[in-house]
Structure 1
């Protein structure tokens, strides 16, 4: 009989392994010596040790799934429990038990990780849904549309949730995108309609602008062009493919008109500048009539000058007040001379002036006599009162005498 600390072979060739529960039959060995029998089953044990070691390493260092790891453990445990090896089988059971704990721990870690990832994915998708629903109300069509497309890409990169939750969130997300697309489509349909209305309105404005381009009714036509420009701005923009062409036609028609008006105004300005020169010469000729010494000759000369003045035509507006003012000054001087001559030669006016002078002279003489009498009587207060009255009558008499002199007497 042969034995070692973990097993023995009896005389019949039966091999035993020692366990905590007593000896267990490993197998029968008839092909050689008992030592060879123990050595064979010891190699079986070493094989189990190697396999368990490899499994421990795989569990600790690779992403071996818990299911596959448990299946491998169960397979090795069956071999250990079959007692077909000689060695410390209890130690192998202990290692397998620890390995089970490790696998379970890894399973819990992965379950927790998956739960965390699921929660993060849920939160991420809920955030995407909330943002999509906010963007669905936006009028920033380009930016919001691009952002929604970006959200779709982000959604596709997130893990799936449980089917019910994932479907509910996707329904909200998809509904928000559809709502935005519907609003954007309605907006651009309305915009297209507005631009079509603008195109029709601007076609009419262009037609009128082109019809006015050869008008020579400068003032009213220029005013109408300003009104057309106001209407153009109020009409809004037409479609891009029409807007530039319509504007070029509209602006071109205005350019034709204003170029013609500018040319006409240039000719008019040249003519009015020449007219101003002529009128300045006439104004200088008229000013030589002052002061008026010969009323009849001055009147005749001014009439001749004025007839030539009227025949000349318009001068530049900004120069008109000054040159016309010079002529008006000469005209007023001649009129004043005529009025003075009329007063001087009017017999009725002369008689009235002479009569008033006589009345005032008599009143002055009377007051002078009354003052002398009052002083002779010693009535000083009466004399002073009469003297104040005399001062007023004397002032009136002086004015009347001056007026009478104007009549030459």
Structure 2
């Protein structure tokens, strides 16, 4: 008989393995010595050791699924329990027990990690939903639309939740996108309608502008063009492709009109500057009539000058008040001379002036006598009142005498 710490071979060649539960027959050996029998069954044990070691390595270093790992462990446990091998089978069983504990711990870790991942995914999706619902009310159509598309990509990259929770969040998310899409579509539909209305209005403005381009009614037409420009700005923008064409046609019609007007005004300005030079010469000639020494000759000369003045035509608007003011000043001087001469030679006026002077002279003498009498009688207050009245009458008399002198006497 031969034996070692973990097994033995009896006289009949039967091989036993020792375990905590006692000995167990694992086979028989008739082909050689007992030592060879033990060596053979010990090699089978070493094979189990290798298999368990490989499984331990897979569990520790790979992402082997817990279910698959436990199936492999149970398979090896059966192999160990029923093993036809000699060795420390109890130690192998303990290693398998420890490996089960490791797998279970990994399972719990994965479960916790998955729960955390799910919770984070739920939180992330809820944030995406809230942001999408806020964007659904935005009128920043381009940036909001781009952001919503980016949110979809982010959503796709997140783990799925349980079906109910995931479906509820996705429904809200999808609804927000749908609301935004409908609002944007309605906005651009309204914008297209507005632009089409603007195009029709501007088409009419272009037609009127083109019809006015050949007008020579310069003032009213220029005013109408200003009104058309105000209407153009108020009409809003048409579609981009139509806007440029309409503007070019509208502006082109105005350019035709204003170019023709500018050419005419340039010619007119040249003519008016020449007229101004001629009128300045006439103004100088008229001013030489002053001061008036011979009223009749001055009036005849001024009349002749004025006839030439009227025949010349318009001068530049900014020079008109100045040049016309010079002629008007000469005309006023002539009128004043005429009035003076008329007053001097008018017999009725002279008689009225002489009568007034006589009346004032008599009133002054009468008041002087009354004032002296009042003072002689001691009535000082009446004397002072009469003297004040006398002073006023003397001033009137002085003015009347000056007026009478203008009539030559």
TM-score by length of 1: 0.94
Q: Are the structure 2 counterparts of residues 193 and 376 from structure 1 closer, same or farther at C-alpha, using a change threshold of 3 Å?
A: closer
1:205–1:228 CA contact under 8 A, matched in 2? yes
**Equivalents in 2 of 1:377, 1:164: separation in Å?**
133
Structure-2 residue corresponding to 1:260: 260
Q: Are the structure 2 counterparts of residues 383 and 171 from structure 1 closer, same or farther at C-alpha, using a change threshold of 3 Å?
A: closer
Q: Are the structure 2 counterparts of residues 107 and 264 from structure 1 closer, same or farther at C-alpha, using a change threshold of 3 Å?
A: same
Q: Shift in Å at residue 112 of structure 1?
A: 1.4
**Equivalents in 2 of 1:104, 1:406: separation in Å?**
141
CA RMSD of aligned residues (A): 1.9
Aligned length: 409
**Equivalents in 2 of 1:200, 1:189: separation in Å?**
17
1:282–1:305 CA contact under 8 A, matched in 2? yes
Is it true that 1:126 corresponds to 2:126 in the alignment? yes
**Equivalents in 2 of 1:365, 1:131: separation in Å?**
111
Structure-1 residue corresponding to 2:343: 343
Q: Are the structure 2 counterparts of residues 363 and 126 from structure 1 closer, same or farther at C-alpha, using a change threshold of 3 Å?
A: closer
- Within a 5 Å distance, the mapping from 1:93-242 to structure 2 comes to 93-242=93-242
Report SS of the residue matched to 1:25: strand
**Equivalents in 2 of 1:84, 1:312: separation in Å?**
142
Q: Shift in Å at residue 118 of structure 1?
A: 1.8
Report SS of the residue matched to 1:330: helix
Report SS of the residue matched to 1:17: strand
Unaligned runs of 5+ in 2: none
Structure-2 residue corresponding to 1:315: 315
Q: Shift in Å at residue 242 of structure 1?
A: 1.1
Deviations 1:238-282 (A, max 9, x none): 112211111100000000000111111111111111111111111
**Equivalents in 1 of 2:390, 2:324: separation in Å?**
49
**Equivalents in 2 of 1:99, 1:158: separation in Å?**
33
Q: Shift in Å at residue 166 of structure 1?
A: 2.6
Q: Shift in Å at residue 370 of structure 1?
A: 4.9
Report SS of the residue matched to 2:209: helix
1:49–1:92 CA contact under 8 A, matched in 2? yes
Q: Shift in Å at residue 174 of structure 1?
A: 2.4
1:25–1:83 CA contact under 8 A, matched in 2? no
Deviations 1:53-75 (A, max 9, x none): 22212211111221221122112
Q: Shift in Å at residue 127 of structure 1?
A: 2.2
**Equivalents in 2 of 1:314, 1:338: separation in Å?**
30
Q: Shift in Å at residue 329 of structure 1?
A: 1.0
1:17–1:83 CA contact under 8 A, matched in 2? no
**Equivalents in 2 of 1:176, 1:377: separation in Å?**
118
TM-score by length of 2: 0.94
Report SS of the residue matched to 1:216: coil
Structure-2 residue corresponding to 1:304: 304
Unaligned runs of 5+ in 1: none
